[in-house]
Structure formats: C-alpha cells, structure tokens
Structure 1
C-alpha cells in the first residue's frame, strides 16, 4: 500500500492540524491538549465521574486525571467526592469554565469552516455522512470487541 493511500495518515494529518489550530485559538485561556474536550463534555455532562469522562472521551484514566487537574488549577472545574462512594470524584464545571464554552465553540466552528471551505454543499453533506458512518462502524467494533 502506498503512503498516499493510507487513510490513517490522512486522518492523522487532519487531526494534527485540528489540534494545533484549536490549541492556538484557545491559547489565551491556557487550554492545552484535550482540556477543551473535557470542558465541552462537562458543559452537558456536569457532575460525572473522572472515569466516566475518560470512557466518554476515549482516553486513559491518567490522561483524564492530568487534564482535570490542569483544568482545576485554572479554575475551570472543581472535583468533589461522591457522597455514596468516597472513591469516586465527581467533576463539575465552574462559572469560569462555562464562560469559556462560547470561545471553544467558536474556535471549533472556525476550524470546521477552514476544513470545509473548498467543499460544495453536497460534498460537505457526503463528507459528514461518511465520517458518521466510519464513526458508527468503529463504535460497533468497540462494542463487540470489548465483550
């Protein structure tokens, strides 16, 4: 298989650019790596456990702990022990964290606009459907392979 035919390499290239663009756009908020993804997730799953966040974002518990610790240091989130199970930390987004959500959404929209700028409306619709189909295939693979 030729390098140019490797789909993974193309996806990695897009992912790398996405990461750099978002990190640069959010630099003034000191959001690095996956921190923005944790904030976005908490904006609609507030109070979930660190383990739940790690599973949802498909990252290791160690990555989740590092990201949450950094977000806590910046004042974007806070952790509390679960009342029923003291081993579990519940993570909640702070008012400061909620205040950053519009900037994150704006940066993500700008990135989408750049990525899709040379697509016709039909091409964008097809591209999104193919991405959804690929994601769904991988979700099914994860579901069946983890049994």
Structure 2
C-alpha cells in the first residue's frame, strides 16, 4: 500500500468524532435545564418511540452495551424520568416506563433533536442531507461490532 496517499486523505472517523463531540456539547447545553445529559438523551428518545421495553431490548435497539444502558437508566430512574415494573412474562426482567416528568418534557426533547438536525443540515441541500443520512445508515448497518 502506498503510504504517501494515506497521509493526504483525512480519515472519515475524524469528522464523525467531531460531529459526535459537537452534538454532545449542543445536546448537553440544550437539555441540561431539564436535568438530562446527552448520555441519557438517546435512552429517552428510544422510550418516547416505544415505552415499556426491557433493558436488553433498549441496549439492542440503540447498539449500546448493557452496562452503559444500566447506568443511564438508573440515573433516569433516580431523577424520576422512568420507572421499572416487573415483566409479567419474565419475572427476571423489568419493563421500563416513562414517568410524567419525562412525558412533560417530550416536546422539548424532540425540539432539541430537531434543532440539532437543522444545524447538521444547514450547509447541505435537501438532497445532500438525504444522501448523508442514507450513507451513514448504510455504514452503520454494515459494521457489526
């Protein structure tokens, strides 16, 4: 492999990493007034889409390890955003449900997500935004770690 060509190309991961960090800063700034952090944000979004899942289902859907999921859900529970209820079909498992506190900030949380999406897309045409979304989705589906 010609290493001189490798030095000329910026790695894609550099930009993905920057986007992730900038997204975390933006989301933390916007949702901190509700007592939520960017680390909890995605778990709330997932539960807004489908309430009453168990911890393993949430981990699988978000592609996040079980330990990270457990810590984020514990914090959300301590803050009164979620509650755990024993699963009637599997007594070893708990179903996770949104509390009123989480339901009351749902529109605001989705507003932050929409604002971040607008910020990402503001320098792109509509077509470029769709292409970017499609390519990122394709890459994510292809990488199974």
TM-score, normalization by structure 2? 0.87
- CA deviations on 1:81-109 (whole Å, 9 max, x unpaired) are 11232211111111221122211111111
Stretches of 4+ aligned residues off by more than 3 angstroms: none
**SS of alignment partner, residue 83 of structure 1:** coil
8 Å CA contact 2:28–2:36 kept in 1: the answer is yes
CA deviation after TM superposition for structure 1 residue 4, in Å? 5.2
Partner Cα distance (1:2, 1:61) in 2 = 37
Say whether residues 1:59 and 2:74 are aligned partners: no
TM-score (norm 1): 0.85
Instruction: Provide the aligned C-alpha RMSD in A.
Output: 1.8
Write out per-residue CA displacement over residues 39-76 of structure 1, whole angstroms, 9 at most, x where no aligned residue.
11111221111111111111121111111111111111
Spell out the pairing of 1:1-147 with structure 2 (5 A cutoff): 1-2=6-7, 5-138=10-143, 142=144
Structure 2: how far apart are the matches of 1:86 and 1:62? Answer: 20
Distance 2:44 2:31 in 1: 12
Gaps of 5+ in 1: none
How many residue pairs match? The answer is 140
SS in 2 for 1:2: helix
How much does 1:3 deviate? 7.9
Contact 2:27 2:38 in 1 (8 A): no
